[in-house]
């Protein structure tokens, strides 16, 4: 160990060395020095094996006290709350270089442990009484060490429940600890429900300001027997003081007009440091004037503008808040604009760069249990709770922990399920550090509570039961909630792996409310101190150095101004191996506790650091080069800043604003009213879109499908405005105004009657009607050549058995080569009878736009719940085959045997991969000339988890003996070796009251296997469907219609995938993909699947992923489409050969992205085909382009692809980067009739080339 563990003193370039073994390195050419000291046992592995952490016994560490559950305590009611236990904070108070531990101990006196600095294992001596910080008569909550008075040492701030908070200024001298209470002097003596102090210099004036998170006050004796006094004001009812500290106005009694009352919370405070005193600027700075049950808060620069923003994590229905710092001392709350959802019962919040991209991410903990049993006993009666939550508005709150991944655009991905951290039990704190030293942040979650308050069999009681009683009184005889703390290793950018047992953490069940991080033994790695209830605190020493697992770097900052510890600084480094890391010095993070104000970097096996950059809170930038690892560095803020190098590339796509008027809200409809156990709704699956020139002006117009109750929308293309943005004219007259009784799904603009113009086919779908209802009638509208349409009554075949089908997709092709276009229409769902198989239709065209149904003859009538369809020559024989995607089914392939379809799904290698498939699109992805396919699925970021061995299951039938068919979702538990119900007792018994005769407690339901609840014979007689595959994939074609499934990159799995656009968007000669993501109308308790923002996959890489796809982040791609994105169309608005994009959004306006590709990186090559009469767009043609130096580029003209989308018939290819102006390409076309032509085109003739069928 160090004889003196502090870094060597630095005095304006004058260096005093304590020994020749301690290297000193100058920080560039400034007068300031970065001072380094080696860690002991630099590379020597002392321990060959064992867990990562070693607990230090209390008799050695000296941490020999317990925070008890004292049932005689006058404030025992606080055990029900977030204030049950207290917290721990770490820092060097006495200036000897060793960190002290302060425990704010809730119901007992606080403890201050001074570090003795002895031996390899830390020892402490209790000094709270001597230091005057015991506060034995108070209930103390969160605490923090910060240099409040800017004198260079750490002061101590303590939150007290309903008493003035304490500020102890540090006036210690060497060897003597002296603290002076000065809260009133500094304006911080608030008496309230103070819970968490979070310091930072938010206004960048050089000193530390304070956000004080408050929670709730709990009245002794609970609710008074006579109610609380209220009065009516001009703005409504209010509770009279002092009762308003505990209660607020509830709902209005409809009979009396008098409101009820309910418990309330307290408002948070923001204090600005004015140098010698703090000023409450909560209102002036823009904090919302509301009371919240705040559990934690975290400063973070989420929009990377140099100003610290603030995340506030609130419990219950109080929605979380995200305050963007405006840079002028004020904030604006932007959570609904930035986050698609948040946690519901938000606990701790932990910021950090979890994926090493230099941006600050965020994890917020909830309390979703990790086991099936705990999930089912804590579900409870959710109806009223959900109503309360949804009344709070956006963003929606979900019952799971959240992992917000910063995109650098001011928006976040959310990836908790995919990362493995959605379920973390009753978590209090989020602690992040690189525990194993491999260069990635790991996680530690303390868990448990004083009682099992959420067990649904333990009734909290009615409001009357709480008269004269505290909430805790109702749970006195209930068991403690002891749980295993959880630790996760950061395995990849997107995955955490459970590591608690291997690391020696969470081995015993505890009620652990927090933890603090510090290097307590000064060996360079991160140690851990926990603060449990009813047990002694535990000091866990990290053994990564002793085991030789990794090299490390510790950084201490010394600011020039009043922010002496550099709180809020960002430090980034790059190792010799090219590994990048960044850390923000924000020790007030996680929950109530604060960490030692040092920064730790695990270097893995790397021993050298190429560069280290510090961006100080003042904005000063400092760069150090060529550093050694295994050092403890103190860096002093320089007087001058390094120039900031900004390299922000122009995004590929630019979003166009101004189309809000095109938003079409769905009519209110509750699918769950008819089928309460649906996995998701089917009434919000649109809109579809179709592109084509309907008025003969040479530009592509748009028909955008409308929901039921809204008129159809035909948008006539009027070119570009002065800013280069598209302009549309909305046509609002018959027949579009007569379409309100239908819900459009798939739509097509094609020449069905052979007269040379584009007609409109609209598929009717949804479930907002009875099965077979006339509103499900598909419609054909014929064009007069000028864009005026008339419905062609009688041209489509009538319904089978007099019942119309709820359709989905429409895909057209000349499958029989007779010169006209036939149409496949997929059956999506039977209203009110999901997942019963609907009927699909196959419309055979007689050449005049009159159709007959050939579905039965071609084996297409009943294939499953069809979601997508694509005509494509999958086996390369020149005849168009049909691929279909299904929910609870496979991707099916029907091979075309010269006009006769035969299913070849099994031979194609597709039969076993059943899933929640949504969409598909085709193009050659790997340059071998064969058509490959991208297929959209549910993704890997939901509650579902499936494989061939352990599929997701759904049953539909009379499973409870009631004579009524119901749904049952099931999952297989490997540990229990049985099937378990996915849904809980409350919602299941609501749908099937008979179940309560067999299982009438939550414990019973949680303990039961599926066949304990439902008779095995009834399950066996029910319709049973399975999903084995959840990933969105590429189907790589061997050329003969046999496929290999390859999962798409990680970001493609972050949300359900719907619209798919395959094209060469940058002209480099390789196929790219743009994806439309998310799905909102899910079960209430599940929450929307909204983790994505849309995605660009750039082709041409050397990765093993199909097509060499590389995921391009939103800040580079410009693909930033939050919301419920569905269809996705490709159209070149400007005619310059660059494909633009239009996203069809459910419940929102379409999103248009204009392509602004860099011409130096590629040049567009556009092929347009002029086919023969009846198919003048040459639908079904295959085009292969060969450019010297590039792989073959092959694509087909499709009428219906992706999700509910018909694109313009142009095909976009690329000349590649650096192509000469006079470069030529060979274009081979296999036309829809099977004939083949070959042409040469020159780049010098412009980007667009038209080829005509002979």
Q: Which two tokens stand for residue 913?
A: 């991969």
Between these two residues, 630 and 383, which has the higher pLDDT value?
630
Using DSSP's 3-state secondary structure scheme, residue 986 falls into helix
1156, burial (CB in 10 Å: exposed 0-12, middle 13-18, buried 19+): middle
- 809 CB contacts (<8 Å, ≥6 apart)? 745, 746, 763, 824, 825, 826, 866, 867, 868, 869, 1200, 1203, 1204
Q: Which two tokens stand for residue 1126?
A: 């569905």
Q: What is the pLDDT of residues 504-515, one digit of tens each?
A: 999 999 999 999
Q: Are 95 and 172 in contact (CB under 8 A)?
A: yes
Please give the angle made by the CA atoms of 393, 395 and 401, to the nearest 5 degrees: 130
Cα dihedral 1242/1243/1245/1247 (nearest 10): 120
For residue 1031, pLDDT beyond 60: yes
Nearest to 486 by CA among 467, 506, 502: 506
- pLDDT (average), residues 378-390: 66
Q: What is the pLDDT of residues 713-737, one digit of tens each?
A: 999 999 999 999 999 999 988 898 8
Q: What is the pLDDT of residues 15-62, one digit of tens each?
A: 222 222 223 333 333 333 344 455 444 444 455 578 999 999 999 999
Residue 969 domain-assigned?
A: no
Q: What is the pLDDT of residues 72-84, one digit of tens each?
A: 999 999 999 999 9
- 673 CB contacts (<8 Å, ≥6 apart)? none
Q: What is the pLDDT of residue 462?
A: 80
C-alpha span between 32 and 198 (Å, rounded) = 30
Residue 813 domain-assigned?
A: yes
Q: What is the pLDDT of residues 437-490, one digit of tens each?
A: 999 999 999 999 999 999 999 977 788 888 999 999 999 999 999 999 999 999
C-alpha span between 794 and 778 (Å, rounded) = 11
- pLDDT (average), residues 573-585: 97
Other C-beta atoms within 10 Å of 1219: how many? 22
Instruction: Please give the sequence-ordered ranges of beta strands (E in DSSP) within 165-264, or none if there are none.
Output: 166-170, 179-181, 191-200, 209-214, 230-233, 236-239, 247-252, 259-263
Looking at 531, 557, 583, the residue that finishes a domain is: 557
Residue 396 domain-assigned?
A: no
Q: What is the pLDDT of residue 8?
A: 35
C-alpha span between 761 and 811 (Å, rounded) = 10
Tell me: do 746 and 880 sit in the same domain: yes
Looking at 1172, 1195, 1210, the residue that finishes a domain is: 1210
Q: What is the pLDDT of residues 616-652, one digit of tens each?
A: 999 999 999 999 999 999 999 999 988 877 677 899 9
- 689 CB contacts (<8 Å, ≥6 apart)? 702, 703, 704, 705, 747, 1127, 1129, 1142, 1144, 1150, 1204, 1205, 1206
| Mean pLDDT of the chain, nearest integer | 93
C-alpha span between 213 and 268 (Å, rounded) = 5
Q: Which two tokens stand for residue 985?
A: 């007792």
Looking at 529, 557, 585, the residue that finishes a domain is: 557
Sign of the dihedral through C-alpha 720, 722, 724, 728: negative
Residue 247 domain-assigned?
A: no
816, burial (CB in 10 Å: exposed 0-12, middle 13-18, buried 19+): middle
Can you give the CATH number for the domain in which 82 is found?
2.130.10.10
Q: What is the pLDDT of residue 386?
A: 65
Instruction: Please give the sequence-ordered ranges of beta strands (E in DSSP) within 105-235, or none if there are none.
Output: 111-115, 124-126, 140-146, 155-164, 166-170, 179-181, 191-200, 209-214, 230-233
Using DSSP's 3-state secondary structure scheme, residue 804 falls into strand
Residue 255 domain-assigned?
A: no
pLDDT bucket at 324, cuts 50 / 70 / 90: very high
Q: Are 669 and 678 in contact (CB under 8 A)?
A: no
Q: What is the pLDDT of residues 1119-1171, one digit of tens each?
A: 999 999 999 999 999 999 999 999 999 999 999 999 999 988 999 999 999 99
Please give the angle made by the CA atoms of 500, 350 and 208, to the nearest 5 degrees: 135
Nearest to 620 by CA among 677, 574, 558, 682: 558
Question: What does residue 713 show for φ and ψ, rounded to 5 degrees?
Answer: -125, 110
C-alpha span between 201 and 221 (Å, rounded) = 41
Q: In residues, how long is the chain? A: 1254
Query: Residue 665 has what DSSP assignment?
Result: P
C-alpha span between 920 and 1196 (Å, rounded) = 13
Tell me: do 667 and 541 sit in the same domain: no
Rg (CA), the chain: 33
Q: What is the pLDDT of residues 671-686, one digit of tens each?
A: 999 999 999 999 999 9
Q: What is the pLDDT of residues 87-146, one digit of tens each?
A: 999 999 999 999 999 999 999 999 999 999 877 899 999 999 999 999 999 999 999 999
Tell me: do 778 and 658 sit in the same domain: yes
Residue 110 domain-assigned?
A: yes
Query: Does 220 sit behind a cis peptide bond, omega within 30 degrees of 0 on the bond before it?
Result: no
548, burial (CB in 10 Å: exposed 0-12, middle 13-18, buried 19+): middle
| Structural domains counted in the chain | 2
- pLDDT (average), residues 1199-1211: 98
Domain coverage including residue 783: 654-944+1028-1210
Tell me: do 547 and 666 sit in the same domain: no
Residue 1078 domain-assigned?
A: yes
Residue 940 domain-assigned?
A: yes
Q: What is the pLDDT of residue 24?
A: 30
For residue 256, is it left (φ>0), alpha (ψ between -120 and 50) or beta? alpha
Tell me: do 163 and 287 sit in the same domain: yes
Tell me: do 542 and 660 sit in the same domain: no
- Cα 138 to chain centroid distance, Å, stands at 41
Q: What is the pLDDT of residue 382?
A: 58
Tell me: do 329 and 471 sit in the same domain: yes
- The DSSP result for 813-875, as a single string, is E-TT-SSS-EEEEEEEE-TTSTTSPPPPEEEEE-SSS-EEE-TTTTT-S--SEEEEEEEE-TT
For residue 391, pLDDT beyond 90: no
Q: What is the pLDDT of residue 388?
A: 61
């Amino acid at each position: 160990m160090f004889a003196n563990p502090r870094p060597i003193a630095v005095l304006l370039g004058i260096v005093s060395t304590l020994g020749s073994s301690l290297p000193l390195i100058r920080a560039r050419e400034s007068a300031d020095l970065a001072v380094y000291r080696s860690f002991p046992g630099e590379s020597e592995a002392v321990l060959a094996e064992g867990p990562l952490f070693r607990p230090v016994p209390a008799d050695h560490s000296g941490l020999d006290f317990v925070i008890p559950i004292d049932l005689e305590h006058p404030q025992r009611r606080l055990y029900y709350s977030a204030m049950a236990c207290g917290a721990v904070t770490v820092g060097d108070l006495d200036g000897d270089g060793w960190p002290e531990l302060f425990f704010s101990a809730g119901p007992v006196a606080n403890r201050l442990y001074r570090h003795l600095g002895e031996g390899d294992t830390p020892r402490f001596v209790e000094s709270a009484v001597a230091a005057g910080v015991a506060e034995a008569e108070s209930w103390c909550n969160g605490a923090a060490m910060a240099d409040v008075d800017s004198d260079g040492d750490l002061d101590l701030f303590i939150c007290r429940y309903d008493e003035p908070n304490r500020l102890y200024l540090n006036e210690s001298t060497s060897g003597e600890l002296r603290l002076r209470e000065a809260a009133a002097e500094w304006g911080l003596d608030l008496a309230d429900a103070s819970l968490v102090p979070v310091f930072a210099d938010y206004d960048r004036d050089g000193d530390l300001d304070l956000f004080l998170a408050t929670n709730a006050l709990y009245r002794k004796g609970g609710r008074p027997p006579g109610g609380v006094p209220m009065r009516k004001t001009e703005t409504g009812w209010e509770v009279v003081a002092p009762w308003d500290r505990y209660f607020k106005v509830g709902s209005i009694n409809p009979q009396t007009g008098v409101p009820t009352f309910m418990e309330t919370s307290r408002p948070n405070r923001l204090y600005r440091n004015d140098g010698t005193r703090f000023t409450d600027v909560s209102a002036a700075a823009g904090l919302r004037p509301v009371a919240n049950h705040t559990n934690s808060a975290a400063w973070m620069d989420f929009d990377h503008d140099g100003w610290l923003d603030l995340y506030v994590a609130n419990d219950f229905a109080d929605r979380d808040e995200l305050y963007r710092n405006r840079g002028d001392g004020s904030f604006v709350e932007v959570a609904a604009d930035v986050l698609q959802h948040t946690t519901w019962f938000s606990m701790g919040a932990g910021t950090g760069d979890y994926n090493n991209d230099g941006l600050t991410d965020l994890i917020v903990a909830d309390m979703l249990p990790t086991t099936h049993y705990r999930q089912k006993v804590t579900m409870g009666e959710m109806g009223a709770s959900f109503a309360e939550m949804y009344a709070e508005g956006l963003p929606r709150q979900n019952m799971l922990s959240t992992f917000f991944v910063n995109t650098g655009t001011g928006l976040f991905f959310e990836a908790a399920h995919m990362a493995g951290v959605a379920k973390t039990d009753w978590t209090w704190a989020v602690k992040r550090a690189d525990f194993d030293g491999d260069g990635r942040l790991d996680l530690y979650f303390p868990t448990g509570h004083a009682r099992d308050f959420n067990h649904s069999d333990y009734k909290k009681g009615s409001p009357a039961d709480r008269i004269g009683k505290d909430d805790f009184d109702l749970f006195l005889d209930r068991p403690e909630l002891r749980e295993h703390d959880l630790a996760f290793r950061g395995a990849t950018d997107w995955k955490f792996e459970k590591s608690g047992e291997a690391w020696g953490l969470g081995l015993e069940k505890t009620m652990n409310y927090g933890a603090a991080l510090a290097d307590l033994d000064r060996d360079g790695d991160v140690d851990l101190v926990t603060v449990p209830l009813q047990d002694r605190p535990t000091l866990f020493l990290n053994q990564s150095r002793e085991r030789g697992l990794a090299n490390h770097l510790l950084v201490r900052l010394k600011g020039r101004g009043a922010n002496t510890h550099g709180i809020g600084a960002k430090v980034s480094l790059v190792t010799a191996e090219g590994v990048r890391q960044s850390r923000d010095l924000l020790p007030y993070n996680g929950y109530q506790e604060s960490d030692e104000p040092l920064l730790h970097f695990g270097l893995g096996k790397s021993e050298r650091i190429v560069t280290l950059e510090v961006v100080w809170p003042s904005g000063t930038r400092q760069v150090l080069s060529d550093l050694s690892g295994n050092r403890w560095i103190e860096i002093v803020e320089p007087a001058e800043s390094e120039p900031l190098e900004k390299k922000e590339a122009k995004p590929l796509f630019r979003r166009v604003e101004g189309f809000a008027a095109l938003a079409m809200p769905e009519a209110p409809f509750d699918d769950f009213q008819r089928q309460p156990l649906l996995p998701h709704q089917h009434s919000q699956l649109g809109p579809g879109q179709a592109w084509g020139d309907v008025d003969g002006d040479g530009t592509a117009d748009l028909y955008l499908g409308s929901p039921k109750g809204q008129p159809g929308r035909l948008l006539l293309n009027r070119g570009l405005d002065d800013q280069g943005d598209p302009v549309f004219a909305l046509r609002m007259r018959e027949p579009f105004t007569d379409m309100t009784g239908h819900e459009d799904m798939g739509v097509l603009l094609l020449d069905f009657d052979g007269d040379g113009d584009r007609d409109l086919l609209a598929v009717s779908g949804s479930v907002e009607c009875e099965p077979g209802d006339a509103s499900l009638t598909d419609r054909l509208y014929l064009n007069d050549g000028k864009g005026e349409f008339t419905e062609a009554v009688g041209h489509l075949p009538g319904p089978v058995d007099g019942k119309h089908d709820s359709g989905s997709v429409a895909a057209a092709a000349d499958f029989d080569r007779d010169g006209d276009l036939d149409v496949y229409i997929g059956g999506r769902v039977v209203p009110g009878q999901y997942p019963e198989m609907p009927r699909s239709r196959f419309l055979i065209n007689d050449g005049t736009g009159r159709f007959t149904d050939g579905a039965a003859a071609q084996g297409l009538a009943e294939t499953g719940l069809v979601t997508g369809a694509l005509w494509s020559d999958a086996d390369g024989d020149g005849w168009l085959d049909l691929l279909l995607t299904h929910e609870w089914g496979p991707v099916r392939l029907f091979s075309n045997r010269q006009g006769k379809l035969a299913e070849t799904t099994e031979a194609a290698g597709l039969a076993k991969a059943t899933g929640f498939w949504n969409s598909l699109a085709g193009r050659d992805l790997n340059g071998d000339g064969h058509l490959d396919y991208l297929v959209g699925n549910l993704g890997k970021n939901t509650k579902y988890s499936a494989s061939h061995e352990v599929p997701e299951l759904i049953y539909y039938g009379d499973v409870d003996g009631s004579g009524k068919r119901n749904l049952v979702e099931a999952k297989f538990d490997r540990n229990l070796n049985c099937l378990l119900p996915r849904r809980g007792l409350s919602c299941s018994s609501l749908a099937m009251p008979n179940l309560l005769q067999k299982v009438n407690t939550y414990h019973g339901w949680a303990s039961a296997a599926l066949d304990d609840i439902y008779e095995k014979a009834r399950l066996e007689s029910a319709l049973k469907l399975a999903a084995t595959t959840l990933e969105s994939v590429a189907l790589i074609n061997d050329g003969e219609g046999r496929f290999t499934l390859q999962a798409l990159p990680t970001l493609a799995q972050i949300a359900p995938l719907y619209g798919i656009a395959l094209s060469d968007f940058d002209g480099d000669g390789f196929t790219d993909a743009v994806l439309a993501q998310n799905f909102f109308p899910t079960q209430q308790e599940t929450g929307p699947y909204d983790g994505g923002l849309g995605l660009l996959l750039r082709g041409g890489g050397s990765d093993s992923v199909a097509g060499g796809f590389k995921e391009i982040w939103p800040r580079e791609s410009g693909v930033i489409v939050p919301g419920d994105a569905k269809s996705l169309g490709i159209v070149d608005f400007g005619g310059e050969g660059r494909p633009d994009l239009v996203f069809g959004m459910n419940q929102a306006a379409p999103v248009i992205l204009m392509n602004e590709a860099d011409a130096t990186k590629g040049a567009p090559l556009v092929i347009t085909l002029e086919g023969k009469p009846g198919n003048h767009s040459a639908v079904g043609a295959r085009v292969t382009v060969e450019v010297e130096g590039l792989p073959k580029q092959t694509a087909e003209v499709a009428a219906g692809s992706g999700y509910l989308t018909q694109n313009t018939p142009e095909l976009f290819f690329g000349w590649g980067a650096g192509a000469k102006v006079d470069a030529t390409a060979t274009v081979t076309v296999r036309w829809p009739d099977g004939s083949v032509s070959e042409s040469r085109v020159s780049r010098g003739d412009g980007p667009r080339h038209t080829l005509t069928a002979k």
